[in-house]
């Protein structure tokens, strides 16, 4: 079992819900990013770091934009791993870090095994949005060799049989895509989203985290009872984008209310025990 699984299981047992922010590596700039990451850690249980890719076809306009900005600044996977391995950053890594990367940048790492290098940099898990379970066996094995978690996604369109298979094979948590579509904030979630979350809850005991389209405390309050954690990406990046002079403040202003909404959704027992 990897660190993500350990953390998620511990939270689950304590009746607490996980906040999983997503940030694009090197955004808004390579210099600011390590400090920004530290700020994100303060509110997070697990952090996803996005490896920018030229063709992010599962992503909406915000992550397309942040990826492009990061690429223009020369952000590469080797840079990300070096940055994470830096002693100061490493010391501030208070929660498990998961890399979110399209498959191709991982495939092109030529000097040595990419999972081994990621592990040495302190990465606990990997999410690959264009890797369905049918193509995943070889990457699962590579992750397992490094005691890392390979996290799979399940969508509302996924059949029952495949959902069970994916839940079985996903390590750390199961990433539930809230709605058919690409990443990016939504005003509201349809009834279908909640039916989907309940269907998944009935199917597996693995920790479930829901992502895509979540931006507001009210949404978190409605979704949290159905799952073990929520993932917040585009809205966080948009907030950072819109506050170029105060990115840390933007992180705080967005994540603090979400953190509170989640803690209120945790079981009373968990709150009392704090």
Active site residue 59: yes
- Name the active-site residue from 39, 45, 59, 149: 59
131 binds another protein (CB under 8 A): yes
Q: Which helix (H) or strand (E) holds 147?
A: none
Among 158, 215, 234, 266, binds another protein (CB under 8 A): 158
Among 180, 198, 218, 249, binds another protein (CB under 8 A): 180
Among 19, 49, 177, 255, binds another protein (CB under 8 A): 177
Measured CA to CA, the distance from residue 243 to residue 241 in angstroms comes to 6
110 binds another protein (CB under 8 A): yes
> 56-61 long-range contacts, Cβ below 8 Å, gap at least 24?
56/102, 57/130, 57/182, 58/129, 58/130, 58/182, 58/183, 59/182, 59/183, 59/184, 60/181, 60/182, 60/183, 60/184, 60/234, 61/184
166 binds another protein (CB under 8 A): yes
Among 1, 10, 57, 137, binds another protein (CB under 8 A): 57
Binding window for another protein (CB under 8 A); candidates: 57-65, 203-211, 219-227, 240-248:
57-65
CB of residue 106 vs another protein: minimum separation in angstroms? 7
72 binds another protein (CB under 8 A): no
181 binds another protein (CB under 8 A): yes
CB of residue 128 vs another protein: minimum separation in angstroms? 9
Residue recorded with tokens 């506050």: 243
Residue recorded with tokens 């279908």: 192
The closest alpha carbon to 209, from 230, 224, 195, belongs to 230
44 binds another protein (CB under 8 A): no
* CA 189, chain centre distance (Å): 19
Among 6, 9, 68, 73, binds another protein (CB under 8 A): 68
Helices 234-241 and 61-72, interaxial angle, to 10°? Answer: 60
Active site residue 45: no
Binding window for another protein (CB under 8 A); candidates: 40-48, 141-149, 178-186, 243-251:
178-186
What value does the CA radius of gyration of the chain take, rounded to a whole number of Å?
A: 17
- Longest CA–CA span in the chain (Å) reads 50
Active site residues per annotation: 48, 59
Site for another protein, rule CB under 8 A: 53-58, 60, 64, 68, 71, 76-78, 102-110, 129-132, 134-135, 152-159, 162, 166, 177, 180-182
């Amino acid at each position: 079992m990897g660190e993500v699984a350990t953390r998620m299981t511990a939270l689950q047992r304590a009746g607490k819900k996980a906040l999983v922010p997503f940030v694009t590596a090197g955004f808004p700039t390579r210099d600011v990013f390590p400090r920004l990451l530290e700020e994100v850690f303060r509110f997070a249980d697990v952090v996803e770091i996005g490896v920018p890719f030229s063709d992010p076809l599962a992503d909406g306009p915000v992550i397309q934009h942040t990826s492009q900005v990061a690429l223009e600044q020369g952000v590469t996977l080797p840079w990300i791993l070096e940055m994470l391995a830096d002693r100061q950053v490493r010391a501030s890594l208070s929660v498990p870090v998961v890399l979110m990367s399209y498959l191709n940048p991982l495939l092109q790492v030529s000097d040595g095994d990419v999972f081994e290098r990621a592990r040495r940099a302190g990465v606990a898990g990997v999410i690959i949005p264009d890797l369905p379970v049918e193509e995943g066996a070889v990457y699962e094995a590579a992750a397992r060799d490094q005691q890392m978690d390979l996290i799979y996604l399940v969508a509302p369109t996924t059949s029952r049989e495949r959902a069970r298979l994916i839940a079985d094979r996903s390590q750390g948590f199961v990433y539930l895509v809230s709605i058919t579509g690409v990443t990016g904030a939504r005003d509201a979630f349809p009834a279908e989203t909640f039916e989907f979350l309940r269907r998944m809850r009935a199917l597996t005991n693995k920790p479930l985290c829901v992502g895509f389209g979540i931006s507001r405390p009210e949404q978190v309050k409605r979704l949290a009872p159905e799952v073990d954690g929520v993932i917040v990406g585009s809205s966080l990046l948009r907030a950072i984008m819109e506050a170029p002079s105060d990115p840390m403040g933007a992180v705080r202003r967005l994540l603090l209310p979400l953190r509170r909404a989640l803690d209120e959704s945790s079981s009373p027992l968990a709150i009392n025990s704090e």
